[in-house]
């Protein structure tokens, strides 16, 4: 089984919330409720980074979700230059923690460079199908 959905968002502040709504709707459709909170937070961070650092004026960014049997992959692609890096800000810093949080929540993450732009991707493990079928009453 392999499923995939993606959507483009304009370079606007409202696109962060719209990208969150998009992934929530897809995860509900795929019945992956336990992953919603973590993936919502991660797409918020990645969409914000795309808007602040990666999407030139007049361009869009793309959010994609891909599901295989045991994994969900979240991707945010933009057309900007630059390489996102996990930072280690001082305790009193007001920013710089987003990719660190994202890297802790995801089971794996990385950046894929393109001729124009980049894709920041995260992977989340889903519960094995057998675990989903086991309920307290059936054990």
CATH number of domain containing 68 = 3.30.565.10
Higher pLDDT, 95 or 91: 91
Q: Give the total number of structural domains in the chain.
A: 1
End-to-end CA distance of the chain: 27
Residues belonging to the chain: 139
* Structural domain that includes position 19: 3-133
Give the mean pLDDT of 93-109: 81
Residue 107: is its pLDDT beyond 70?
A: yes
Give the mean pLDDT of 39-48: 96
Give the mean pLDDT of 88-115: 81
Q: Name the band, by pLDDT with cuts 50, 70 and 90, for residue 136.
A: low
Within a domain: 87: yes
């Amino acid at each position: 089984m392999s499923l995939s959905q993606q959507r483009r968002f304009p370079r606007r502040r409202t696109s962060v919330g719209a990208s969150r709504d998009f992934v929530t709707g897809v995860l509900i459709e795929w019945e992956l409720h336990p992953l919603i909170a973590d993936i919502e937070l991660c797409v918020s961070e990645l969409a914000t980074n795309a808007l602040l650092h990666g999407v030139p004026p007049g361009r869009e960014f793309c959010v994609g979700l891909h599901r295989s049997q045991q994994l969900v992959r979240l991707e945010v692609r933009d057309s900007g230059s630059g390489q996102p890096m996990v930072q280690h800000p001082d305790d009193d810093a007001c920013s710089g923690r987003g990719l660190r949080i994202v890297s802790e929540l995801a089971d794996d993450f990385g950046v894929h460079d393109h001729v124009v732009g980049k894709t920041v991707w995260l992977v989340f493990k889903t519960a094995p199908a057998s675990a989903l079928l086991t309920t307290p009453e059936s054990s």
